[in-house]
Structures are given as C-alpha cells and as structure tokens.
C-alpha cells in the first residue's frame, strides 16, 4: 500500500481574535505580504493568507462566537489551530483514511480560495488537527 506521496505543507492555520491586530505583527513587524483576504461565510470566519516561501500562514478570525474558530478561541485561546497538507488526490486520500479507521470531521468541501478540503480529527493524528487539501 502506498502512502500520500506528493503531499506537502500548504499552510499553518492560526486562530486569532482580531485579524487586524494579528496583521500588525505578521505583516507590519515580520514584513510578510498578505496574498489574500476573504470571508468564508459557511465557516463563519475571516481569513488572511500570508506566504512564507511556498507554505503559507493562514490567520483565522471568527465572524461569530459560535463558529468553530470562535469556540476554539474560547477553549484554548489564540494559537495554532491546524496543519494543512496538499495531496495529489484528495478523494483517494479520504478513502484510504476511512479504510484505516481515521476519524474525518467533514466530507470534502470548498473552503478559502475555493480549494477542496477535509479535516482529520486530532484523535487520529497524534493530537494535531490536520487539513488535507486537493492540490
């Protein structure tokens, strides 16, 4: 059985209470460029993507307190939310994970930037929320 050959780190998702305040550090102090800003209505989140070489930092600000990111912030505070990997074939990766008993949090769906993604529960990954993205 082959693994997820061809996968690479796409981004690190960081939950923040205020996108503007976080950008004062990442953009203004570190000098990172903001490649994209958008609101993902179905996820109730504002997103800013900042390239760091090929991978990116994704800043996530909740638009509503009851959103996934809002609940994360209430429980854990600001910080690393997830690690995202691109995979050459998301549907094959999802099927492989299902066969092995991994716990998936959603069916593949469109997210920020229009990419197709699925989240894998931390109980299946050694404690890290993992996002897999169609390349």
pTM here is: 0.91
Q: Which of 18, 2, 7 is nearest to 89 (CA)?
A: 7
60 forms bridges with which residues in the sheet? Answer: 15, 47
Q: Which residue in 85, 68, 71, 79 sits closest to 130, CA to CA?
A: 85
Q: What is the pLDDT of residues 6-60, one digit of tens each?
A: 899 999 999 999 999 999 999 999 999 999 999 999 999 999 999 999 999 999 9
Q: Which residues of 40-70 are buried (b: 16+ CB within 10 A; e: fewer)?
A: beebbbbbbbbeeeebbbbbbbbeeeebbbb
Q: pLDDT at residue 2 above 50?
A: no
- What's the pLDDT tens digit per position in 90-129? 999 999 999 999 999 999 999 888 889 999 999 999 999 9
Q: Domains of the chain (ranges plus CATH)?
A: 8-134 (3.10.180.10)
Three-state DSSP class for residue 134: strand
Q: Residue 26, by phi and psi: left (phi above 0), alpha (psi -120 to 50) or beta?
A: alpha
Q: Which pair of structure tokens corresponds to residue 66? A: 């009851």
- d(CA 12, CA 57) in angstroms, rounded, equals 5
């Amino acid at each position: 059985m082959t693994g997820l050959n061809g996968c690479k780190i796409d981004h690190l998702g960081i939950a923040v209470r205020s996108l503007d305040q976080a950008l004062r550090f990442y953009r203004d102090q570190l000098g990172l460029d903001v490649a994209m800003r958008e609101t993902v209505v179905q996820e109730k989140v504002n997103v800013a993507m900042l390239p760091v070489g090929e991978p990116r930092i994704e800043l996530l600000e909740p638009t509503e307190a009851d959103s996934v990111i809002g609940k994360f912030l209430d429980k854990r505070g600001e910080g690393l939310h997830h690690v995202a990997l691109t995979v050459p074939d998301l549907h094959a990766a999802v099927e492989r994970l299902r066969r092995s008993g991994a716990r998936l949090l959603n069916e593949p769906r469109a997210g920020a930037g229009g990419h197709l993604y699925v989240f894998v529960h931390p109980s299946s990954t050694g404690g890290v929320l993992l996002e897999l993205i169609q390349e």
